[in-house]
Amino acid sequence: MYYFLSHLSSTDIWYTSCVTPKLIGDLVQRKSISYRNYMSQILAMHFFGITEVFILTVMALDRCVAICRPLHYMIIMNRARCSLLIVSAWACGAAHSLSQFSVITRLPFCGPNEIDHYYCDIFPLLKVACTNTYVTGVLIVANSGMVALVTFVLLVGSYIIILFTLRNHSAEGRRKALSTCGSHITVVILFFGPSIFAYLRPPTTFPEDKIFALFYTIIAPMFNPLIYTLRNSEMKNALRKFWCQKTFLDERQN
């Protein structure tokens, strides 16, 4: 679990670093970006974003094995297999981003160069292209839709298997097993919900896109460390001790 979390945290750092510094800079100065930097941000965003999607899917499969086959867990999820799953996640992220990138780099641009978004996304770019982008939009939606469909099926399937297995457990066993999945389910909802709304639809843009994009570009990666940290009993005890000491000192000063 911690091996996968280390890769998830690394992906979160790189993922948010692709958009947050530029967003902060745009808030204090002229909002502009070169064509090369625009394309670079699209490539990086899709690479790290899809890699995070696959890492979250791998973590769901890991929880499924841990709960359904606890005695064989160390054999099934050995270090070699975990490394293979992580390498596959990074490779799938690279394949997806490169395929999207190869499609949009062929688009001509000769007219308006303003987009209604706070980071470089594909759909706003299609809107300002000087050609018919219907086929390109269909290819992009099909690519993103395939990724979303495969990962969604794996996620739902893993939790269905977990719930089916827990039928024969005691109430205490079910509570402990489901508590280990609570953090992962929270992260998946924060990340997948807005992402599905943004990419599983016809290639159009809406003013609400910026609000939903905040969840999967900034909010979800920012809360991931907090969500998983609060599952650690030692961290919870340390926080409880810190707040108790702070409350005691405040009362003593008063």
Contact 21, 48 (CB under 8 A): no
CA 231, 237, 242, 248 dihedral sign is positive
Phi, psi of 123 (to 5 degrees): -60, -45
Going by pLDDT thresholds of 50, 70 and 90, the confidence category of residue 91 is very high
Higher-pLDDT residue of 90 and 25 is: 90
Q: What is the pLDDT of residue 86?
A: 94
What pLDDT does residue 239 have?
Answer: 67
161-189 pLDDT tens trace:
888 888 777 777 777 777 777 777 888 88
Q: Say how far apart CA 86 and CA 8 lie, in whole Å.
A: 10
Both structure tokens of 111: 């007219």
List, for residues 101-150, the tens digit of each pLDDT value: 888 888 888 877 888 788 888 888 888 888 888 888 888 888 877 787 78
pTM of the model as a whole: 0.83
Domains and CATH numbers, the chain: 2-253 (1.20.1070.10)
Residues 77 and 73: their CA atoms lie apart, in Å, by: 6
Dihedral, 156, 62, 1, 199 alpha carbons, nearest 10:
-40
Tell me: pLDDT of 248 over 60.
Answer: no
